Amino acid sequence: MAAVAIHQFAQCITCHAWNADHSMVAFCPNNNEVHIYKLVREKWEKLHVLYKHDQIVSAIDWSLRSNKIVTASHDRNSYVWNQEGTGWVPTLVILRLNRAALCVQWSPKENKFAVGSGAKTVSICYYEQENNWWVSKRIRKKHNSSVTSVAWHPNNILIATTSTDGKCRIFSTFMKDLDTRAAGLSSSNDAKFGEQIVQLDLSFTWTFGVKWSPSGNTLAYAGHNSMIYFVDDIGPSPSAQSVAFRDLPLRDVLFVSDRMLIGVGFDCNPMVFAADERGIWSFVRFLDERKIAPSSSKYSSQFSEAFGKLYGQSKHGMTNDSLDTSRHRRGAHENCITCIVPLRNAGDAAVKRFSTSGLDGKIVIWDLDNLTDATR
């Protein structure tokens, strides 16, 4: 099995993040707190509880170099936490939102972070030295619904968002004081702050979990209709691939390399997608070995019982015995996976380890010893 460690931390986990050397994990146990655990002699010990938010913490990101934690919450606020001595000191970020903050991510250079919200906006936040203050600058009037996920391009300027209006959009977040125009890059690099580079209109349903590939050449996001979209050549004429799969929709995705992606979601089992030599993406297999061949697993999902009842009324329904076996889910995760985070070692191009958390309150660490192994 590819899962190397499974730990039950809480009843339910909304999101989690790791520090630079992966010795500490921060997560929200589905309430207004953030718990930080440290692995001490093979055992997880609770070190800190970050207590400042009033409502559920919806997203956490831990910057690797500057060791700062940023949190976003349904209470419409964001805090940046700094480790000082033995404690963590919060600094309020003024977002001026009238709806919940839903997602947050540090930019690759860690001088900005982006907060997506239910107020149909993305706020780009940066530190103002003279005021000792995190300021936010908003990209507004572009989204028609809540922003469910944000992702920074490796160039620290472009940002991709997914929204419940079904679109995926890419914006420039160029700021004079923070960014320099890299010479010789594409024309999208000249865009002003908040300018929309492209709007991808591939899905009719909610979209989630946008991510860039390590090189920044490919973008992927998931639709709530059991589809995943891969987009190349971001710019005026992007080329897109829509991949339909046979199982329940994804909530979040992670590129482990430019040609391989892991998707997690309502099927409770990470799915591997890979691009062949022509660049055509397709579903490869489930990572957790309990489901091997799709054809042999009849209705192996949470809905099997309901279907059993439905089919039971028709003459050709299956017997109840065959349903019983599928009802017991014995995988690493027992409920919807909502979050996937890379465990990247400094200097590694490809992600070999990553962790997932979900509504079952577990954090599972997965190891792809060998990337070719995953495609088998």
Partner 1 sequence: MEAENIEAIIARIEHKTRKIESLLKQLKPVEALKTALEGSPPNTKDERCKSANWIVVHRAMMAIKDVDGMFSSLDPEYYDILMKYLYRGLATGDRPTCDQCLKIHERLTERAGLGCILRALADTVNTV
Catalog residues that contact partner 1 under the rule CB under 8 A: 204-205, 223-227, 244-249, 294-295, 298-299, 301, 303, 307, 310-311, 313-318
**In contact, 324 and 365? CB cutoff 8 Å:** no
**The tokens 């089992």 sit on which residue?**
269
CB of 53 to partner 1, least distance (A): 33
For the chain, the straight-line distance linking the first and the last C-alpha, in angstroms and rounded, comes to: 13
3-class secondary-structure state, position 9: coil
Task: In angstroms, give the least distance from the CB of 311 to partner 1.
Answer: 5
Are 5 and 364 contacting, i.e. CB atoms less than 8 angstroms apart? yes
- Rounded least distance, CB 42 to partner 1, Å: 39
DSSP string for residues in 101-112: EEEEEE-TTSSE
Angle at 224 between CA 220 and CA 225, to 5 degrees: 100
The two three-digit tokens of residue 273, written as one number: 């997608």
Residue nearer to partner 1 on the CB measure, 167 or 353: 167
Taking the complex as a whole, how short is the minimal distance between the CB of residue 4 and partner 1, in angstroms?
A: 28
Least Å distance, CB 293 to partner 1, is: 12
Phi, psi of 227 (to 5 degrees): -130, 150
**Min separation Cβ 226 and partner 1, Å:** 3
User: For residues 134 and 266, which CB has a smaller minimum distance to partner 1 in the complex?
Assistant: 266
For residues 138 and 290, which CB has a smaller minimum distance to partner 1 in the complex? 290
- State how far the Cα of 280 lies from the Cα of 275, in Å rounded to an integer: 5
Q: Which is nearer to partner 1, 221 or 245 (CB)?
A: 245
Residue among 118 and 308 whose Cβ is closer to partner 1: 308
Helix and strand tally (H, E) in the chain? 3, 28
**CB closer to partner 1, 118 vs 265:** 265
| Nearest-5° Cα angle at 82, 78 to 84 | 150
